[in-house]
Amino acid sequence: MDPAEPVTDFDALFRRAFVAEVAKKSGLLWIVYDGAWHPVWHVWHEDAVCVVAGGDEQPLPGIKDAREVVLDLRAKSTRAQVARVRATVEVVGPDHADWADVTAVLVADRLNLFEADEAVERWARECVVVRLHPTDLLASPGHLGDSAQREQPVESPARTVRSRPFSLHRQRRAPRLSEGSDS
């Protein structure tokens, strides 16, 4: 799924377009690395997921040292898992050639940005900006598995043994009028 190489295989082209479409439409995704799941806001820019981490932004401890991560892409409307994608991590620092382009897109898309005029300078000082390039589509609709991210509830001795308690001031609903009557 490297955007630099020409794609002649229709399936590879479809996978690239599918990942791009899902990532563009979702405002939140999960990044999985070092055995931990991290929910993050992101921007899709130039065939990659761009993320700001650290400082007053979202915490992603050790993201700049990670080589690969897994992106868990979710549907915006239902929040259901739509795809899992392996991605490589590229740190975009202030001296990087794409710093201005990436940070401009991030500033424009960031909701409730505190002091937007100074955000890029603050990110350069306190944060890390990473670009996550999708490489492999690990799972897509129909291939996600039934147990994806389902955990059994913790066993507890707490039980409901009786019906709801009596309510002293319970209000009764007004009776419905028949459809043919006028009031």
Q: What pLDDT score was predicted for residue 125?
A: 92
CATH code, 62: 2.30.110.10
Q: What is the pLDDT of residue 182?
A: 56
Q: What is the mean pLDDT of each run of 10 residues along the chain (183 residues)?
A: 60 79 83 90 91 90 92 80 88 92 90 83 92 82 53 68 68 70 54
Question: What is the three-class DSSP state of 49?
Answer: strand
Q: What's the confidence (pLDDT) of residue 68?
A: 94
Which among 132, 131, 129, 107 has a CA at the least distance from the CA of 55? 129
Residue 156 included in any domain: no
Q: Check residue 14 and give its pLDDT.
A: 76
Residues 6 or more apart in contact with residue 30 via CB below 8 angstroms: 37, 38, 39, 40, 71, 72, 74
In a domain, 146, yes or no: no
- What pLDDT is recorded for position 87? 93
Do the domain assignments include residue 171? no
The domain total for the chain is 1
- Predicted pLDDT at 140: 61
Domain membership flag for residue 86: yes
Residue 42 lies in a domain: yes
Rounded Cα distance between 123 and 42, Å, is 15
pLDDT at 113: 81
Q: Give the H or E element holding residue 125.
A: helix 119-126
Torsion angles phi and psi, residue 7, rounded to 5:
-110, 120
| The predicted structure's pLDDT at residue 181 | 55
Pairing verdict, β 68-74 and 28-33: antiparallel
Q: Which domain holds residue 126?
A: 28-139
Per-residue pLDDT, 176: 73
- Residue 23 has a pLDDT of 82
* Cβ–Cβ < 8 Å for 81, 148: yes
Residue 94 has what pLDDT?
A: 92
Is 58 inside a domain boundary? Answer: yes
